[in-house]
Amino acid sequence: MSQIMINMSNKLTYLDLASWGGFMSFASSAVVIPLCLPEISKTLNISLSQGGAMETARTFLILSVLLISGILAHKWGKKPLMVMGQYMIAIGSIMASYSQDYFSLIISLMIIGMGGGATEAIINPLVLDLHPNDSSKYLNITNAFYPIGVIVSALLFGELLTLGYSWRSIFLITATMALVMGLIFNTSKFPDQKNQISFSWNLIINILFLRGFWIYGFAIFLAAGIESAFTFWSRSYVEIYLQELPRAGAIAVVIFSCGMAFGRFLSAKLSYMISPSTLMIGSSIFGLLVTIYVPFVTNLILFITLLFFAGIATACFWPTILAIAADDLDTDSTILLVLLAIVGVAGFGIIPWIMGMAGDHSDLKISFLLIPICFIGLILLINKNSREV
């Protein structure tokens, strides 16, 4: 009872801290491939489009497991899904470290994707359970630990790669972190689920027929694609066009993630001062102005400076869209957030794949022009939704 009272007062709990660690573990598993892609490509003879397809394979399983996890959370509760998700990330990472060909690596990444799907499905609805009266603030804070996880992993992994460590050892580090987080969640007390609608397939159908759902869905698709594009391709961009060491490419990913983390903490602060629509429109315009110059940069310092500002511009969208959708649409929050996350994860996997194919057929640098186009789409969607509301 006392635990529920603490939650309702919107103070940080032990489970909040565990959720931060869960997001960091999830981020670590997601960033291994983009950071190690040049080394993996040399070992397994992988092309740019195959490299992009690896991200798509991982996210395909995230998509599948997201929905399954949302359904199972209604029957089993959130705790078993969180624990299972972390353990599957650990198992998949261990398998990836022993992969001898492209096919076995894809299978490993799909298992990692299954664990990531369960994690993504549960963490944000869990934050809503813990902080029902101030969800926008705490969703931004919790989601800030995803880019923080990218920062820590990129610094560590980039340094290890520069020192000559194998990409296989990087996967083992990721496995260890996920295993530890699984054990922490296994010993944590989760809040009781209250006011939850009984699950039925009609619940999903009804949400999909809500017009507002698709506005939020397309917006989160584009926002996730922007985030993924910079996270996945920045290191390769640095190595191909700026001819720097692996450490420099990792630093580029770190700088973008620093902007993301800073932007999410800033968004949590601004949630008391301006409306979510104003925050997202301003971020979209800022992001458009910044990213239109990225494909034409030939200097590392200028490139990473633009990445930092791009991270700030991208930061608010995912958690803010989830928060306002949960407030705006009268339906079950767990399934709603899961369905939005499915659409978002699709953008996270598809846009890097499109950029990889464009890189194979023309130039990876030109493919970065897709990012400002996504920001234009966000401006149009958010403006349309603001007028209708």
Structure tokens at 368: 């970065």
Residue 125 pLDDT > 80: yes
Q: Which residue has the higher pLDDT, 241 or 305?
A: 305
- pLDDT tens, 179-229? 999 999 988 888 776 555 555 677 888 888 887 899 999 999 999 999 888
The mean pLDDT value for 259-282 works out to 88
94-115 pLDDT per residue, tens: 999 998 888 888 888 888 888 8
Q: From CA 70, how far away is CA 336, in angstroms rounded?
A: 9
> CB burial class (10 A; 0-12, 13-18, 19+) of residue 362?
exposed
Q: What is the CATH number of the domain that holds 289?
A: 1.20.1250.20
CA 150 to CA 261: how far, in whole Å? Answer: 10
Would you say residue 246 lies in a domain? Answer: yes
In a domain, 122, yes or no: yes
Alpha helices in 272-369 (DSSP H): 276-291, 300-315, 317-328, 333-361, 364-367
pLDDT given at position 218 = 93
Pair 265, 140: CB distance under 8 Å? yes
Mean pLDDT score of the chain, rounded to an integer? 83
Cα(378)–Cα(316) distance, integer angstroms: 12
Residue 215 vs residue 150, higher pLDDT:
215
Tell me how far apart the alpha carbons of residues 100 and 55 are, in angstroms, rounded to a whole number: 18
Q: Look at residue 250 and tell me if it is in a domain.
A: yes
* Residue 19 reports pLDDT greater than 50: yes
Confidence at residue 200, expressed as pLDDT on a 0 to 100 scale: 64
What percentage of the chain carries pLDDT values higher than 70? Answer: 89
Query: What Rg value do the Cα atoms of the chain yield, rounded?
Result: 20
Q: What pLDDT does 10 receive?
A: 59
* The pLDDT value given to residue 56: 67
**pTM reported for the whole predicted model:** 0.76
**pLDDT confidence of 55, banded at 50, 70, 90?**
low
Identify the residue with better confidence: 82 or 334.
82
Task: For residue 175, tell me if it sits in a domain.
Answer: yes
Q: How many domains does the chain have?
A: 1
Domain with 259, as residue range(s), is 12-189+202-388
Segment 252-275 shows an average pLDDT of: 87
Q: Distance between CA atoms of 116 and 93, rounded to whole angstroms?
A: 12
Q: What is the pLDDT of residue 7?
A: 42
Strand ranges (E), 96-220: none
Q: Which pLDDT band, with edges at 50, 70 and 90, does 1 fall under?
A: very low
Distance CA 59, CA 186 (A): 25
CA distance 121 to 102: 28
pLDDT at 381 over 60: yes
| CA–CA distance, 137 with 194 (Å, rounded to integer) | 21
Q: Flag whether pLDDT at 178 surpasses 50.
A: yes
In the predicted structure, residue 330 carries a pLDDT above the cut 70: yes
pLDDT at 52: 63
* pLDDT tens-digit map of 278-315: 899 999 999 999 999 888 888 888 988 999 999 999 99
Higher pLDDT, 327 or 179: 179
Contacts of 259 (CB under 8 A, 6+ apart): 147, 307, 308, 309, 310, 311, 312, 313, 314, 315
Question: Would residue 1 count as lying in a domain?
Answer: no
DSSP-derived secondary structure letter, 242? I
Q: What is the DSSP string of 228-240?
A: HHHHHHHHHHIII
Q: Which two tokens stand for residue 143?
A: 């989601």
- Confidence check: pLDDT of 388 > 70: no
Q: What is the pLDDT of residue 386?
A: 60
Query: Does any domain span residue 319?
Result: yes
90 has a pLDDT exceeding 90 = yes
Q: CB of 53 within 8 A of CB of 268?
A: no
- DSSP assignments along 154-179, one per residue: HHHHHHHHHTT--HHHHHHHHHHHHH
Nearest to 199 by CA among 40, 71, 330: 71
Question: What is the average per-residue pLDDT within 341-353?
Answer: 84
73 assigned to some structural domain: yes
Taking the C-alpha atoms of residue 312 and residue 287, their distance in angstroms, rounded to an integer, is: 8
Q: Which is more confidently placed, 218 or 74?
A: 218
pLDDT score recorded for residue 48? 64
Task: Tell me which residue has tokens 């103070």.
Answer: 11
Residue 234 lies in a domain: yes
